[in-house]
Structure 1
């Protein structure tokens, strides 16, 4: 391997048989210059870079990071991949390391950061939530970072956006905003605050999540309604006019803001969830 560029004392951009890698190792960049050879035994970690955009971003991040922060991110990434049984993309560790560095600084300076959709993310991504919770506890216990629970939400977003195989994960923030908007409609219309720790709230969020992911395709087709479902829904709306009005408002939001439409079957199930929530 030959050095293409020294990134910092512990990281180098190298080339080997036409493929570029970023390599990490304690003191690996000390006294090295472009064109020098690097021995394998000096390297603790290799990262294959697949495109120039990622390469530039990773280089910029590494110039600001020390080895310990990268090692923190490595340990978290390893645990996440084992727990989630999924691969994380090539720049995940560096993005996470940059977040850890920023996190450490912001809490040292007592900067208040708003919590992003904590309850919605918890139900949207239950597996990622558990890993994020572990990550925060790990940093607090192993590195005395004293991170608050609000950081769990930020770590969830990092895990979700670092996953390779699911095309929908890139819309994690949009999906969370959508759910947050819908919850606000429900609370405003019903005139009450929902118990976000309740089983009913969990079921409501999970149902909407799967419904949105199921219908949020390119065609955004309306599901066909059977006559029986139309009749059943019509009878139910007469019994629960307040909840019906909330469903109508939710449908309007989804159609106008996100181009999502649905028919009586989903109306009916949403109405039932709202009845449970209001009780």
Structure 2
């Protein structure tokens, strides 16, 4: 039997909020899905191009308040964007992206049309940390440029990539922002301490940043990596500069994340740092 939902509210011709027999409140998006429909009417769920939940009352309110400020065609276009992201990332997205990314892109388009731009000083770090999300974000920006007839600033690629990463990892944007800014700070500490300028186009830089990201992720969730005391003692004796620097970095991470750091992180950091020193000479 064809599954039906009951309309609670028609937000516009393309968006309705409905009551689902299992999931309770759902949002249905589809071309003309709300046209001439009233509260209490039933509708086949298969008529929607996209169905998602809004469990958080605050997100629901934000989404409802956002819609009057954007064209109905734009909501339809955002549905195309989200389907593209989901297909390219090959996984379902956290539902919060419907609110967050729609809000971000709607106002970013408005800024671009008025030639107002925001710089993104961490663009290179974002590309290095989240290469797949960055590539998909580039495709999204191309879709927007073609649809709106504008030239989105390059910095928007980074912001959209962060929204995508948030949606595929269930991390908050606040945590993601804090983490990549912390990684940028750690790289600066390394450059200052070793008196080098790391070439960001090298494999060593990519490996270092990816390792720092994994370290920050492990610390964030409280995961221990495990290690050997004998190896730590050997590294401390053989590479004192890098070993001491690794502990300096650990203290920065402890302070910024406000969480303990497994001692074994020093082993892996020392090895990465020594690779940089070897390539410096």
Q: TM-score, normalised by structure 2?
A: 0.81
Distance in 2 between the 1:268 and 1:101 partners?
45
Asked if 1:231 corresponds to 2:230, the answer is: no
Asked if 1:111 corresponds to 2:120, the answer is: no
**Count of residues in Structure 1 that have an aligned counterpart in Structure 2:** 271
SS of the equivalent of 1:63 reads: helix
- How far off its partner does 1:223 sit? 3.6
The range that moved more, 39-48 or 176-185, is: 39-48
Asked if 1:256 corresponds to 2:252, the answer is: no
Distance in 2 between the 1:64 and 1:107 partners?
16
Alpha-carbon contact 2:235-2:243 (below 8 Å) kept: no
Query: Residue in 1 aligned with 2:136?
Result: 131
Q: Compared with structure 1, are the counterparts of its residues 69 and 116 closer, same or farther at alpha carbon in structure 2 (3 Å cutoff)?
A: farther
1:95 to 91, 100, 114: 100
Alpha-carbon contact 2:101-2:163 (below 8 Å) kept: yes
- How far off its partner does 1:156 sit? 1.0
Runs of 4+ deviating beyond 6 Å: none
Q: Compared with structure 1, are the counterparts of its residues 169 and 210 closer, same or farther at alpha carbon in structure 2 (3 Å cutoff)?
A: farther
Query: Residue in 1 aligned with 2:217?
Result: 213
Distance in 1 between the 2:38 and 2:255 partners?
57
Query: Residue in 2 aligned with 1:82?
Result: 87
Structure 2 segments unaligned to the other structure (5+ residues): none
Distance in 2 between the 1:276 and 1:87 partners?
43
Asked if 1:143 corresponds to 2:148, the answer is: yes
Query: Residue in 1 aligned with 2:19?
Result: 15
SS of the equivalent of 2:69 reads: coil
Distance in 1 between the 2:233 and 2:192 partners?
27
Distance in 1 between the 2:76 and 2:279 partners?
45
Distance in 1 between the 2:142 and 2:132 partners?
16
SS of the equivalent of 1:186 reads: helix
The range that moved more, 179-188 or 5-14, is: 5-14
Asked if 1:195 corresponds to 2:199, the answer is: yes
Q: TM-score, normalised by structure 1?
A: 0.82
Distance in 1 between the 2:199 and 2:43 partners?
58
Query: Residue in 2 aligned with 1:247?
Result: 246
Q: Compared with structure 1, are the counterparts of its residues 40 and 196 closer, same or farther at alpha carbon in structure 2 (3 Å cutoff)?
A: same
- How far off its partner does 1:2 sit? 4.1
Query: Residue in 1 aligned with 2:76?
Result: 71
Alpha-carbon contact 2:6-2:20 (below 8 Å) kept: yes
Distance in 1 between the 2:19 and 2:188 partners?
52
Q: Compared with structure 1, are the counterparts of its residues 40 and 142 closer, same or farther at alpha carbon in structure 2 (3 Å cutoff)?
A: same
Q: Calculate the aligned-residue CA RMSD, in Å.
A: 3.0
Asked if 1:56 corresponds to 2:58, the answer is: no
Q: Compared with structure 1, are the counterparts of its residues 116 and 5 closer, same or farther at alpha carbon in structure 2 (3 Å cutoff)?
A: farther
Q: Compared with structure 1, are the counterparts of its residues 90 and 213 closer, same or farther at alpha carbon in structure 2 (3 Å cutoff)?
A: closer
Alpha-carbon contact 1:47-1:90 (below 8 Å) kept: no
- How far off its partner does 1:190 sit? 3.7
Structure 1 segments unaligned to the other structure (5+ residues): none
Distance in 2 between the 1:9 and 1:40 partners?
16
Q: Compared with structure 1, are the counterparts of its residues 144 and 250 closer, same or farther at alpha carbon in structure 2 (3 Å cutoff)?
A: same
